[in-house]
Every structure is written in C-alpha cells, then in structure tokens.
C-alpha cells in the first residue's frame, strides 16, 4: 500500500508539473512574435500545388511550384531556386527558376532563353512576391484572430489551426487570401479585393502554423484554399495547397549576387 501511495504521489507530481509548464495560446503567440522579431535570416522550402478550372478552359490547369530560398532580413536579400511544373489542356510545361533579390535589384533567370534579366526590386512579379513571406508575416496575420483559432500542443511544437467556413471567419479568410494570393495580384487586374470577395464562394479554408517548443521559432505553415469565383460572367474554381518549412534560422551567411550574374544580366 505504501509503494502504491508513493507511486501515485510521484505520478500526480509529474502531472501537475506538466500542467504548470503548459502555456496558453496568447503566451505562445507573444513569444513566437518576439522570436520572429529577432530573426535575422532563414532558409525556406515551399511547395505550392494549384488547380484552376474555368468555363473558358478545356480541362483544368494544374501547377506545382517547389522552391528553396535563403533570406536575410536586414539587409534584405534572397536567393531562390526551384521548379514550376504546369499542365494545361494536356500540355505539360516544366520550368527551372532561379532569382536573386536585394533591396534595390531583382535578378531572374529565364530558362527558356537561358538569359539572366535584371529589373528594379519593386518590379518583382507578384506571384514571386508571395513566395518570400517570412514567418513573421504569417504570425502578424493571426494577431487579430488569436481567440478564434484552435491551439494544440504536440510533442515538440505548438500549433495554431484554423478550419473555416461561413461568415464568422470572413475577415480571417480575407487576410489569408491576401497573404497567399497577394493583394497586388488583384491590383494588377484593376480590381479591389473586396470586389473579388463579393463574387467569391469559399468552400473551405484551412490554415496551420507550427511553433517550436524550445525556441518559439515558426517552423512550418500550411494552407489549403478551395473556392469559386465569378469574373465577367465566367466561373472559375481554384484549389491551392501551400506548405512552407522554415529552417536554418539565423544561420544564413551574407547573400551576394554573383558577379557573373551581374555581368550577364540584361536590364529591363
């Protein structure tokens, strides 16, 4: 009986210690934000799978983008490589990509012509802007919605999860669309995002972000969007899945555009 009592006491002490060490969503979020503010560099692997169906197309257009990036925050610089695989109306297209970004210039390798192009950093294509999101960008988006997302604790990370449908999540859904599709994308089309949302039927929206338990660094972001949209009398359906994995935090050396790239680049 004495051994049982001692064993039970030890078990309860362990349970209470675990409860005492647990943190709530707000505490974890604030520590993650602080860790993000101290981030000076990061490596990121991103995979985007996108399917688009439209009345104007025969069959679906499928795209898979797989990129690997190294980024420094101050000074801003990024080196990115990757592949883009597309299939449209049964025709496959595969493109290799490489780019360098500094606070003033953007260099992009055009694989079809095997040519380096140079332009001002603010002329960077919007679809590429959406691949340079830092972990801090993802966290800041959650700030106004921290009480509306599910918070779970796993063995070595915390997770914020959002699985949304309906009007109650309309505001967060709008932020997710801005973040993942890019507000500039809609501006390029000459429309406000509010106009697009009025013509949009969202079937599902999933968002998950992982926070390391020891460092509070953001280590992974996953999103999945499925929606219909009407534009100029045509119906379009899109499904997009994105997974971004952040590693090598504060270990990236200075990113320098190679001299051979600078010399070979054609200015646009």
H/E element, 9? helix 2-21
Q: What is the structure's pLDDT at 121?
A: 79
78-119 tens-digit pLDDT:
999 999 999 877 788 889 999 999 988 999 998 888 999 999
Distance CA 112, CA 20 (A): 59
Q: What is the structure's pLDDT at 13?
A: 38
- Look at 146 and 190; give whichever has higher pLDDT: 146
Alpha helix (H) residue ranges in 38-83: none
Q: End-to-end CA distance of the chain: give it in Å, rounded.
A: 83
Q: In the predicted model, what is the mean pLDDT of residues 56-80?
A: 89
Q: In the predicted model, what is the mean pLDDT of residues 1-16?
A: 36
* Number of Cβ within a 10 Å radius of residue 170: 13
Give the position of tokens 């294509």.
125
CATH number of 23-267: 2.50.20.20
pLDDT higher than 70, residue 172: no
Distance CA 231, CA 252 (A): 43
Q: What is the mean pLDDT of the chain?
A: 79
Domain ranges of the chain: 23-267
Q: At 59, is the secondary structure helix, strand, or coil?
A: coil
Give the position of tokens 């990036």.
69
Share of the chain above pLDDT 70, in %: 71
């Amino acid at each position: 009986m004495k051994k049982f009592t001692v064993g039970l006491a030890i078990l309860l002490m362990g349970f209470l210690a675990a409860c005492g060490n647990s943190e709530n969503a707000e505490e974890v979020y604030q520590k993650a934000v602080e860790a993000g503010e101290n981030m000076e560099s990061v490596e990121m692997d991103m995979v985007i799978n996108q399917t688009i169906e439209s009345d104007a197309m025969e069959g679906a257009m499928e795209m898979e983008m797989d990129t690997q990036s190294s980024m420094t925050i101050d000074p801003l610089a990024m080196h990115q490589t990757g592949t883009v695989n597309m299939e449209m109306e049964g025709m496959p297209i595969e493109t290799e990509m490489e780019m360098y970004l500094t606070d003033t210039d953007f260099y992009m390798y055009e694989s079809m012509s095997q040519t380096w192009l140079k332009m001002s950093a603010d002329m960077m294509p919007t679809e590429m802007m959406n691949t340079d999101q830092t972990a801090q960008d993802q966290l800041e988006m959650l700030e106004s919605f921290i009480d509306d997302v599910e918070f779970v604790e796993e063995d070595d990370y915390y997770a914020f999860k959002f699985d949304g449908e309906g009007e109650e999540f309309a505001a967060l859904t709008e932020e997710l669309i801005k973040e993942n599709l890019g507000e500039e994308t809609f501006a390029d089309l000459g429309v406000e995002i509010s106009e697009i949302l009025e013509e949009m039927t969202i079937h599902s929206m999933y968002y998950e972000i992982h926070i390391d338990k020891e460092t509070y660094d953001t280590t992974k972001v996953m999103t999945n969007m499925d929606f219909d949209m009407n534009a100029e009398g045509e119906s379009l359906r899109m499904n997009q899945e994105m997974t971004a994995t952040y590693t090598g935090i504060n270990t990236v050396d200075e990113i320098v555009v190679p001299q051979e790239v600078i010399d070979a680049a054609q200015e646009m």
